[in-house]
Amino acid sequence: MNLVDHIWLNGNLGKKDICILDCSWHLPGTNRDGKKEFKEKRIPGAIFFDIDYFSDDQSKYPHMLCGKDSFSKKCSEIGIQNNDHIICYDSIGIFSSARVCWMFEQYGHENVSILNGGLKNWILNNHAIETNDPIKKNKSNYISKKEPSDAVTFEQIKDNINLKKFTLVDARPAGRFEGKDPEPRKELKSGNIEGSLNIPFSTIIDEKTGCLKNDEDILKVFKDKNILDNKELVFSCGSGVAATIVGAAYEKISKKKFKVYDGSWTEWATKNKIFS
């Protein structure tokens, strides 16, 4: 995944081929509404990208990737074009923006980046904020180039417990992974998938700025878990969002693309009847 910083974006605001997406999404129980916050303040020229709306509305699990035709239709509705350089950001720093960047890559969009540190770091550096009514782009004719290919299924995860073809890395906080803290989706118990390892997404994010930590610090996090081997890595979390943050950090230091268990713990716990 490509990162751009606040200086670059500030110097490119208003350019015709720049499409800025506010991808803010918050965990259940946080009493935060990404769309409401977007309407109150945003990076100038941004439009809102609703992760829930852009997911598979036929699935009972949150944030599952939809088919390319559905994704194309929804992108067209908010005016995204195929030749846009898409800049994804969120209000936390790097959180749901990583998921949206990964989504666009899955559908073959050629030029998409994450704003390192998102709105949090943008404000810290005293850049302009827009508070009037957000812009509305004209509808477009966006065409996804391919179906997603890096989403791992429940069956593949189940088979891998014995086959061990890849290492599953869980990005949830340690308390949830260890079964000590509750899940945000209260109907599910916390815990982990057999054989998985835990790298909480917070360990690779700078708390003050919301930016990814430097490569040396990220490398240390992975080395401390002894998972920088030749085996393929697949990333998981609660519903496929935080997984992409740790995946993006891995890609940054390894230059390797990564896969995501799209259903993540929500699907795994539901299908295995791990209920509270």
Residue ranges per domain, the chain?
2-124, 151-271
For 146-164, letters b (16+ CB in 10 Å) and e give: eebeebbebeebeebeeee
Question: For residue 231, what are its two tokens?
Answer: 């085996």
Exposure letters 106-143 (e unless 16+ CB within 10 A, then b): bbebeebbbbbbbbbbbbeeebeeeeeeeeeeeebebe
Q: Is 237 a catalytic residue?
A: yes
Give 10-residue mean pLDDT values along the chain (276 residues).
96 95 95 96 98 96 97 98 98 97 98 98 98 95 97 98 95 98 96 97 97 96 83 95 97 93 98 95
2-124 and 151-271, same CATH topology: yes
Residue 89's Cβ-count burial label (10 Å; 0-12, 13-18, 19+) is buried
Structure tokens given for 7? 């200086």
CATH 3.40.250.10 corresponds to the domain 2-124? yes
What's the confidence (pLDDT) of residue 227? 81
pLDDT at 80: 98
Distance CA 237, CA 170 (A): 5
Alpha carbon separation from 22 to 51, 55, 58, 97, 183 (Å, rounded): 10, 16, 24, 8, 26
CATH class of 151-271: alpha beta
CA distance linking residue 89 with residue 232, whole number of Å: 28
